[in-house]
Amino acid sequence: MKLLHYRTNNTYQPCRRGALAGLLVLFFPVLLPSTLYFPLSHASPAMFSEWNVPKPRHLPLLKSALQRQSLKEEQSDLWIPLADQGWRPHVKSDNFPTLPAKSEGYIQVFLDGGLNQQRMGICDAVAVAKILNATLVIPHLEVNPVWKDSSSFTDIFDVDYFVNALKDDIRVVKELPDDYSWSTREYYATAVRATRIKTAPIHASANWYLENVLPILQSYGIAAVAPFSHRLAFDNLPTDIQRLRCKVNFKALVFVPHIRSLGDALVNRLRYPSRSGALAADHQQESAVVIDKQEARKFVVLHLRFDKDMAAHSACDFGGGKAEKLALAKYRQVIWQGRVLNSQFTDVELRSQGRCPLTPEEIGLLLAALGFDNSTRLYLASHKVYGGEARISTLRKLFPLMEDKKSLASSEERAHIKGKASLLAAVDYYVSMHSDIFISASPGNMHNALVGHRTYENLKTIRPNMALLGQLFLNKSISWSDFQQAVVEGHENRQGQIRLKKPKQSIYTYPAPDCLCQV
């Protein structure tokens, strides 16, 4: 009996412990909030989907796409630049009004979100300073809660250029004078302060600022608005205020020199791959090389926004099986307490309505159907892709000449931007603005900012027809020829054509007619 008892405790128990340990390892990321396993989740963005590598969801289409042969006529049509649409950026009159002799005080704003949300906030801050005749303190950028990025305004944007570009419009200071040095983010975080405005409504009017913020400026000499994102209306503002916002967004906000230098190097290597050779450490030396323009290659930038947040918030099924569904459901619960509107709908309903972000496979099929082939140079602008290389592999099969920051630049060249989401995004933004064609897999702040900026510059930008594509991908029996015809016809007028801004729409996404005028 003792022997039996001994064997039960020492032979069978380890097996149980091993089984329990295995289950614990398997479900550890699901049972705990994502913040507790942050290093794992971001080093390997989709642990579950990598354990269960998702198979192609549209295999017949994929096989046809891999065997496709684009006609030269299709290729030439693709790369034709946008025709002149008869719109030009507003040119500021030389008879601009001079600044009032005295400022009403200092205005501070604290901006959260990613690079492009902060960019819009900076433009709004300049407009508010103009409305109030206030001196703008260079905006404070909050630490990004998702990517833990602490990059400041001066880390991203050329502050001297910014100040000089706006010197005739508003007063800008890089920091507060000593008398107001107490007005810091930490000061406002510790207690209720009379100089902080927390109640600015979403899309507030100019009158709201004059009635609620101006008196504080006049009383204390300073006012801090936090939160500030999306706190200025897009409509019913004076023309000069609207045009000032355009000037800030499209002219005054320029990236710091090392971002522009790295961006130029990446663009150069995309256009002249045969001349690039070994990665150059000296960007200035590389840009000085005289290159025959006739040899320049064309390239398309794909902004692939398919991160864990996007996948979870969409509530769509991406083919990763039960493990992926569990992971996304738990993440959704931890981050948003389950409050995701799309979760009320089935995957079929969401896809037919165009509410599901395109996977790397689906955006690859879209590009192939439009006529891009395996000779197309594709630059991938993205931060972290949910599913990592396992999900990107299908896109890479379709476009073997696909590049990104890591493949084009050395680790030494990327040292200044490593681990800094805002700087990484800034490089991608810069390369995107210099591409022949830009396409974004899903709507979002990066998509909106670049669509607006490229519209302002009259550059070709393909906007995926999400509802059409959702319906096409639901049709599992559709032939490649029918799919291709539907895609081409459905995107004829979605390649950068001017779309006039409607009420409540963003001036930064729809720059006409506020930032552009017809000629």
Are both 74 and 118 inside the same structural domain?
no
Nearest to 173 by CA among 246, 241, 222: 222
| pLDDT at position 295 | 81
Does any domain span residue 332? Answer: no
Kindly state the average pLDDT of the residues 60-65.
95
Higher pLDDT, 400 or 383: 400
Kindly state the average pLDDT of the residues 103-130.
96
Rg (the chain; Cα; Å): 26
Highest mean pLDDT among 12-26, 142-156, 239-253: 239-253
- Is the pLDDT at 379 greater than 50? The verdict is yes
| pLDDT at position 329 | 87
Token code pair at residue 38? 């942050």
Kindly state the average pLDDT of the residues 239-262.
97
Does any domain span residue 483? Answer: yes
- Is the pLDDT at 328 greater than 70? The verdict is yes
Higher pLDDT, 2 or 291: 291
Domain count, the chain: 2
Higher pLDDT, 122 or 279: 122
- Is the pLDDT at 29 greater than 60? The verdict is no
Are both 172 and 300 inside the same structural domain?
no
Are both 73 and 129 inside the same structural domain?
no
Are both 190 and 80 inside the same structural domain?
no
Does any domain span residue 136? Answer: yes
Run of H or E residues at 135: strand 135-137
| pLDDT at position 388 | 86
Are both 393 and 463 inside the same structural domain?
yes
Instruction: Measure the CA–CA gap between 83 and 78, rounded to whole angstroms.
Output: 13
Share of the chain above pLDDT 70, in %: 82
What CA–CA distances, in Å, run from 158 to 128, 155, 280, 451?
21, 8, 24, 22
Are both 476 and 377 inside the same structural domain?
yes
Are both 81 and 182 inside the same structural domain?
no
Q: CATH number of the domain that 128 lies in?
A: 3.40.50
| pLDDT at position 472 | 97
Kindly state the average pLDDT of the residues 159-175.
97
What pLDDT band is residue 71 in, cutting at 50, 70 and 90? Answer: low
Q: What is the mean pLDDT of the chain?
A: 86
Share of the chain above pLDDT 90, in %: 66
Are both 239 and 377 inside the same structural domain?
no
Does any domain span residue 219? Answer: yes
| pLDDT at position 92 | 65
Are both 483 and 374 inside the same structural domain?
yes
Kindly state the average pLDDT of the residues 9-27.
42
What pLDDT band is residue 126 in, cutting at 50, 70 and 90? Answer: very high
Does any domain span residue 352? Answer: no
What pLDDT band is residue 335 in, cutting at 50, 70 and 90? Answer: confident
Higher pLDDT, 96 or 286: 96
Q: Classify residue 492 by burial, with Cβ atoms within 10 Å: 0-12, 13-18, 19+.
A: exposed
Does any domain span residue 213? Answer: yes
- Is the pLDDT at 261 greater than 60? The verdict is yes
- Is the pLDDT at 4 greater than 50? The verdict is no
| pLDDT at position 305 | 84
Among 41-50, 187-196, 226-235, 240-249, where is mean pLDDT lowest? 41-50
Does any domain span residue 496? Answer: yes
What pLDDT band is residue 72 in, cutting at 50, 70 and 90? Answer: low
Are both 243 and 365 inside the same structural domain?
no
- Is the pLDDT at 44 greater than 70? The verdict is no
Give the HSE-up count for residue 420: Cα atoms under 13 Å, Cβ half-sphere: 15
State which residues form the domain around 509.
57-85+258-271+296-306+357-518
What pLDDT band is residue 32 in, cutting at 50, 70 and 90? Answer: very low
Are both 74 and 153 inside the same structural domain?
no
| pLDDT at position 52 | 65
Higher pLDDT, 53 or 333: 333
Nearest to 428 by CA among 398, 403, 401: 403
What CA–CA distances, in Å, run from 253 to 371, 390, 431, 433?
35, 37, 16, 13
Digit-coded pLDDT (tens) for 170-186: 999 999 999 999 999 99
Digit-coded pLDDT (tens) for 413-434: 999 999 999 999 999 999 999 9
- Is the pLDDT at 369 greater than 60? The verdict is yes
Are both 450 and 301 inside the same structural domain?
yes
- Is the pLDDT at 40 greater than 80? The verdict is no
| pLDDT at position 481 | 96
- Is the pLDDT at 17 greater than 50? The verdict is no
Higher pLDDT, 411 or 2: 411
Contacts (Cβ under 8 Å, ≥6 apart) of 175: 137, 138
Does any domain span residue 145? Answer: yes
Instruction: Measure the CA–CA gap between 264 and 427, rounded to whole angstroms.
Output: 9
